[in-house]
Amino acid sequence: MRTSNSWPLRIRLLLSAYRGRSATEEMKITTDITAVFAAYGHAAYYAQLLEYDLVTIWILDSIMQGASVTQEDLHQFQGEWSKKTLGKLLHPLKQSSLIPDDLKEFLETIRITRNTLAHDFFLTVAYDLQSSEGREKAKATLEEMGSILAEGQKFFVNVLTTYGKDFDIDYDAIHRELLERNQEDAEPAGSGDA
């Protein structure tokens, strides 16, 4: 019995024959494109984590400055801060005279990298996924972007961990609890015993 999942591949193979490509060439293209999207997902993963951690830093800072800490207030803070662009989240840091210039440059690199990834990567960098060179360029660029964003995320985790220790807050425990809660929230309705 054939599954519907085999039809897209069959159609691609039929089209590749029409284009004069062998099945092997078509499979190589498919594998390369899959690698590009995997690299994109890897970079996007770190972009989301660093934004989440940056929002958490600002929420923690608000609490340390005397803001209310009720559960409702925390959800409101998270909602308000989460609506801000990465540029707006980074702006106070980049304007601070306490932040060294090399760190400000790194923060700007993070912002540009994340914005390119989110807004125009496929228009400005990966516009030619049909050529081998285009796919290689896209994958290499994404790997570089992923490294920058992973480094940024690691930086913000270190800030959170250090900041938290100063106030006897176990950031790692809070982070684990939030991840568990988000996993529970992400489970589709009706999943489980059927």
Q: Is residue 129 part of a domain?
A: yes
Whether the per-residue pLDDT at 116 is higher than 80: the answer is yes
Q: Which pLDDT belongs to residue 38?
A: 96
Q: What is the DSSP code string of the chain?
A: ---TTHHHHHHHHHHHHHHT--HHHHHHHHHHHHHHHHHHHHHHHHHHHHHHHHHHHHHHHHHHTT----HHHHHHHHHHHHTS-HHHHHHHHHH-TTS-HHHHHHHHHHHHHHHIIIIIHHHHTSS-TTSHHHHHHHHHHHHHHHHHHHHHHHHHHHHHHHHHHHTT--HHHHHHHHHHHHHHHHSPTT-S--
Q: Is residue 29 part of a domain?
A: no
Q: Is residue 17 part of a domain?
A: no
Q: Is residue 160 part of a domain?
A: yes
Q: Which pLDDT belongs to residue 194?
A: 44
Q: Is residue 6 part of a domain?
A: no
Both tokens assigned to 179: 């991840």
What proportion of the chain, given as a percentage, has pLDDT over 90?
34
Which residue range is the domain that position 107 belongs to? 35-185
Q: Is residue 82 part of a domain?
A: yes
Whether the per-residue pLDDT at 1 is higher than 50: the answer is no
Q: Is residue 7 part of a domain?
A: no
pLDDT digits (tens, 9 = 90+) for 125-137: 878 888 899 999 9
User: Rounded CA gap, 29 and 139, in Å?
Assistant: 13
Whether the per-residue pLDDT at 190 is higher than 70: the answer is no
Cα atoms in the Cβ-side hemisphere of radius 13 Å centred on 114 = 23
| Residue 153 contacts residue 50 (beta carbons within 8 Å) | yes
Structural domain count of the chain: 1
Q: Which pLDDT belongs to residue 48?
A: 93
Which single residue is written with the structure tokens 């989110």? 118
State mean pLDDT over 73-100.
83
Whether the per-residue pLDDT at 144 is higher than 90: the answer is yes
| Residue 116 contacts residue 110 (beta carbons within 8 Å) | no
State mean pLDDT over 140-158.
96
What does each C-alpha distance from 151 to 50, 107, 110, 113, 175 come to in angstroms?
9, 11, 9, 12, 18
Q: Is residue 159 part of a domain?
A: yes
Of 7-21, 40-54, 65-79, 113-127, where does mean pLDDT reach its minimum?
Answer: 7-21
Question: Residue 76 — very low, low, confident or very high, per pLDDT cuts 50/70/90?
Answer: confident
Q: Which pLDDT belongs to residue 108?
A: 95
Whether the per-residue pLDDT at 146 is higher than 80: the answer is yes
